[in-house]
Structure 1
Amino acid sequence: MAKLYLIRHGETDYNNAMRFQGRTDILLNQKGIEQAEKAAEFFRDIPLQAIYTSSLKRARTTAEIIGKLKGLEPQATDALQEMSFGIWENMNSKDIQKKYAKEWKDFFASPATTTIPQGECMLDVQKRAYPVVQEILDQYPEGDVAFVAHGGIIRVLICTMLGLDLNRAWHVHVGNASITCFYYWGRSYTLDYANLTQY
């Protein structure tokens, strides 16, 4: 039985400021780099066969730090990019709540189908990311594979793999540089652990 690892990128200054990043290509801050280095150490003795990553810099840098220790070249794909937050990108969460109160409420009550203007809903993210993850895993039926991505993407993948309603996605916590692990065989998934940050 093989293992699938979902790793969120390390911290950015936008995370600290509670700003929505989405597709905005923000770099890791120093703490984020250190988090990625610790995550790499976690994988030192884990026999990863491949690392796939979002093409956004904060995820790609995290993946490259892990890949360097493992001797693996991360493979980037746009399918793992963060959910697009449209007109909310670069905005602070408090400002969004003031300016877009109804949309904010709807988005957290029904994220599966509530689309931010010029952005995506979680169903869009699921349709974009999940088939690609499945296709990749089909190539490694007996090998451990890591995916470095974003909070929104990982929440959607966790819900999908567990058969949960996407409207529950915001009930799943995904910290910076956290590691979530599933056993997988074929297209069946069993959660081993989620949101591991103390490693």
Structure 2
Amino acid sequence: MTRLLLVRHGQTLWNHISRYQGHTDVLLSDTGREQARLLARRLAAEKVAAVYSSDLKRALETAEILAAPHWLTVKEVPELREIHFGVWEGLTFKEIQEKYRDLAERWYQYPATVRIPEGETFEELKERAYGAILRLVAKHPSDTIIVVTHGGTIRTIICSLLDIDLNHAFHIRQNNGALNIIEFYEGYGVLTLLNDTSHLDCQESR
């Protein structure tokens, strides 16, 4: 059995103000680093064989914080990047609504196939990301591994696992610093934990 600890990166300043990041390489905020440290504390007792990450800095820094207690070096997997938002990258939700209202409405309804100009579809994201996950699982048939990636990417992975129509991806919540757990038995995946942020409770109470 492969135990996949699937993590969304910590918060960035762009997350905080609802600015679309995609492939734009935005750093973690201080809040995001603290989220990663709290999750690292939670996972410190796990017997982790490897830590993998999207090659974008917000995911990579999160992964490095999680890897430190296990004395592991993070391995970058570019296929685990967030969806490419094309011309929307760097814009806030409000700006997108003002400049691209019709396209935005279609994209929120049909993200599987509607393409943002100069960007990609959720179907394309799913193909590259879930394929990468299956390769990592095959590489670690009896291990626990950590994979740090992005909100949209995790949504497509979960949709692929559960055979959910990608057009329903936005019905799956993924908070910054969230932990998901998938157990793979000879390639058959079972989702055992979804969007768990209980390790952040002490942060929220400050």
User: Does the pair score TM above 0.5?
Assistant: yes
Deviation at 1:131, TM superposition (A): 1.1
1:189 aligns with 189
**Which residue identity does 1:179 align to in structure 2?**
L
1:49 aligns with 2:49: yes
Deviation at 1:71, TM superposition (A): 1.1
Aligned partners of 1:57, 1:44: CA distance in 2, in Å? 22
Deviations 1:24-65 (A, max 9, x none): 000001000000001111111111111110000000000000
1:20 aligns with 2:20: yes
**Which residue identity does 1:46 align to in structure 2?**
E
User: Aligned Cα RMSD in Å?
Assistant: 0.8
Aligned partners of 1:180, 1:163: CA distance in 2, in Å? 17
Aligned partners of 2:128, 2:196: CA distance in 1, in Å? 25
- Aligned to 1:118, the other structure's residue is in SS state coil
Asked whether the equivalents of residues 2 and 137 of structure 2 are also in contact (C-alpha less than 8 Å), the reply is no
Aligned partners of 2:2, 2:129: CA distance in 1, in Å? 20
Q: Give the 5 Å matches for 1:144-155.
A: 144-155=144-155
Aligned partners of 2:4, 2:172: CA distance in 1, in Å? 18
Q: Sequence identity of aligned pairs in percent?
A: 36
- Aligned to 1:193, the other structure's residue is in SS state strand
Deviation at 1:127, TM superposition (A): 1.2
- Aligned to 2:113, the other structure's residue is in SS state coil
Aligned partners of 1:69, 1:53: CA distance in 2, in Å? 16
Aligned partners of 2:42, 2:163: CA distance in 1, in Å? 28
Q: Give the 5 Å matches for 1:110-129.
A: 110-129=110-129
Q: Give the 5 Å matches for 1:147-166.
A: 147-166=147-166
| Alignment: residue pair count | 199
2:100 aligns with 100
Aligned partners of 1:87, 1:187: CA distance in 2, in Å? 37
Aligned partners of 2:76, 2:8: CA distance in 1, in Å? 14
- Gaps of at least 5 residues in structure 2 are 200-206
Deviations 1:56-90 (A, max 9, x none): 00000000001111111110011011100000000
1:78 aligns with 78
- Aligned to 2:52, the other structure's residue is in SS state strand
Q: Structure 1 length as normaliser, TM-score?
A: 0.98
Aligned partners of 2:74, 2:163: CA distance in 1, in Å? 28
- Gaps of at least 5 residues in structure 1 are none
**Which residue identity does 1:109 align to in structure 2?**
Q
- Aligned to 1:15, the other structure's residue is in SS state helix
Aligned partners of 2:148, 2:132: CA distance in 1, in Å? 14
Deviations 1:87-140 (A, max 9, x none): 000001011011101111111101100110000110010111111111111011
Deviations 1:156-188 (A, max 9, x none): 001101111111111000000100001111221
Aligned partners of 1:163, 1:3: CA distance in 2, in Å? 20
- Aligned to 2:198, the other structure's residue is in SS state coil
Deviation at 1:145, TM superposition (A): 1.1
**Which residue identity does 1:44 align to in structure 2?**
A
Q: Structure 2 length as normaliser, TM-score?
A: 0.95
- Aligned to 1:42, the other structure's residue is in SS state helix
